[in-house]
Amino acid sequence: MSNKINHSMSLAKPDAVDISNKQKIALAIGIIGLFILTLALFNTNFPNKGLFLTGALGLITIGTIIYSRDAYLTKKEGIKNDSVWFKSISSRGVWGWLVGIILTSFYIVLYFFPKYLGLGTDGAENSGLISLFDPLSKLLSGRPASQWFVYGTLYTVAILVFGYKFILKYRHNRYEQIRTISVMFFQLAFAFLIPEFMYVINSDLPYYDLKSIWPLNYYLFDQWSVKALLSTGNIGLALLIFGILSIFVITPILTYKYGKRWYCSWVCGCGGLAETAGDAFRHLSDKSQFAWKVERWVIHSVLVFVVLMTTAVVYTYLGYDPNKYWLTRKVFLFLVAAILTLVFALVMIFKRNELGKDSKYGAIGYFVIIAVLVGMHLFSSQTKLFLFKAETLRVVYGFLIGAIFSGVIGTGFYPIFGNRVWCRFGCPLAAILGFQQRLFSKFRITTNGGQCISCGNCSTYCEMGIDVRAYAQKGENIVRSSCVGCGICSAVCPRGVLKLENGPEEGRINPTEILLGNDVDLMDFVNKK
């Protein structure tokens, strides 16, 4: 125990456990690797960039592996809090704020001022940090590195290295291990290597992350992207068709069967980084009811914004003459209006009882706004769609949502707001998948309230701010739009109260049928199975 006054009421030692000598050595090794990258940032001229890049990334990897093995393999399997609220970096202390400021600053420079990272312009060679990655970029695709290649490389290394740490930490849970291996694979193969190889096959192909589904790849339906894909022949056409099928066929089917976890926790790179590098900060998510209300309004507003923006962008490059093009601007707007009306009508007819009062009002409000904007254009002579130029909407969305929210805030603020800020408040695809999960999916987290001891581990470690314990105490199924199915609540439960299910809905005890006590005969539900 330290000499400082400790006001904790805990009977156990509340202070953060000191790291071992081996962990200190591991930290030193990793810091040396970061130091090499920092030297490159300040335009140090390395004689052999490939060797120094390998050394930097290798030292970071080795240091993390040694640290992780000593931290977890010396303990028994199972999750322990490990004094997370007493460590500066994981309790919004000085180190937490410092890491947050550094990450945020890096993202700002990366997105808006890449020249300070050494990006060459007007045919000039790269310098600084970006030039250090030139050998790797040329090895994979034959072209110099860009700021996005540097970003992708560091992003992938972080998921792979911290994914290994995550596997060791949750080695008692097979689901967590398989899920982590999945996000590591998809990030390395689909997000990093395949786009580079696609450039080698056809340099005219635009960047295409096969696992990035609209509205995350909001640029898919931009005119330049569509033209570039169609101009590259069958492979480009196949990618465009795959992008459309991903939205209307693949995503709904998988979400119905498995919930949004198939994407948010198994495939998505943002979710992969949050689960691996951001695991140490998952307990920082705001669990208040106010945060939940803000979450619903913000994320669905972003979704409405991206729908309007995409509609406006596609509208701009469609033709007027029905004799030349069957898909004219007017036909396209009618199709958009018809699809949105159909979805709205089906929900209100068949699922209205499952929506809260404010959810119904919100859905009606959003639908009216979109309908009015579409109607204003169809029945007027306006030259602008939705009162703004399409490019203006595109730029605003790309800046505020694509850059500031998803990058700067979503990742840079891990140590401040938790690891799923973007997924929880800003991701439009998460909103779509959550809508499907809440109303049409077989996925549930079932609970056994009789076994719950109210330890609170589940709520503490829920990165999406869900008060899981409240559901567990009542024996309610957890059916939430925001739940990403990471399964950590189940993994940290000492009593096996929580279970992730995709099975038939028959026989489930739903919150509308039972809350507490003997409201119904539970054997009736058991006998139905």
Question: What is the distance of C-alpha 310 from the center of its chain?
Answer: 21
Residue 392 has pLDDT above 80, yes or no: no
Out of 33-42, 340-349, 393-402, 504-513, the most confident range is 33-42
- Quickly state the pLDDT bin for 382 (edges 50, 70, 90): low
Residue 1 has pLDDT above 70, yes or no: no
Architecture category of domain 443-528 in CATH: 2-Layer Sandwich (3.30)
What does 227-281 look like in DSSP terms, one character per residue? HHHHHTTHHHHHHHHHHHHIIIIIHHHHHHHH-THHHHTTT-HHHHHHHHTTGGG
- Would you say 140 and 133 are in contact if contact means Cβ atoms under 8 Å apart? no
pLDDT of residue 338: 84
pLDDT of residue 515: 45
Q: What angle do CA 346, 251, 240 make, to 5 degrees?
A: 115
Contacts of 128 (CB under 8 A, 6+ apart): 40, 41, 42, 43, 116, 117, 118
**Interval 510-527 mean pLDDT:** 51
pLDDT of residue 167: 94
> Containing H/E element for 447?
strand 444-447
Mean pLDDT of the chain: 82
Model confidence, pTM: 0.85
What whole-number distance in Å separates Cα of residue 295 and Cα of residue 364?
18
Quick one: how many helices (H) and strands (E) in the chain?
A: 25, 2
Q: How far apart are the first and last CA of the chain?
A: 54
Of 149, 106, 153, 152, which Cα lies nearest the Cα of 126? Answer: 149
- Quickly state the pLDDT bin for 264 (edges 50, 70, 90): very high
Tokens representing residue 343 in the block: 């979805």
- Quickly state the pLDDT bin for 179 (edges 50, 70, 90): very high
- Domain spans in the chain, listed from the N-terminal domain onward: 16-75+113-199, 289-430, 443-528
- Would you say 182 and 266 are in contact if contact means Cβ atoms under 8 Å apart? yes
Tokens representing residue 124 in the block: 């000039």
pLDDT digits (tens, 9 = 90+) for 287-322: 888 888 888 888 888 888 888 888 887 877 777 777
What whole-number distance in Å separates Cα of residue 270 and Cα of residue 476?
30
What does 397-422 look like in DSSP terms, one character per residue? HIIIIIIIIIIIIHHHTHHHH-TTHI
Residue 18 has pLDDT above 90, yes or no: no
Length of the chain: 529
pLDDT of residue 133: 92
**Interval 140-156 mean pLDDT:** 90
**Interval 443-452 mean pLDDT:** 84
**Half-sphere exposure for 162 (CA within 13 Å, toward CB):** 18
Between 392 and 291, residue with greater pLDDT: 291
Out of 10-14, 146-150, 348-352, 448-452, the most confident range is 146-150
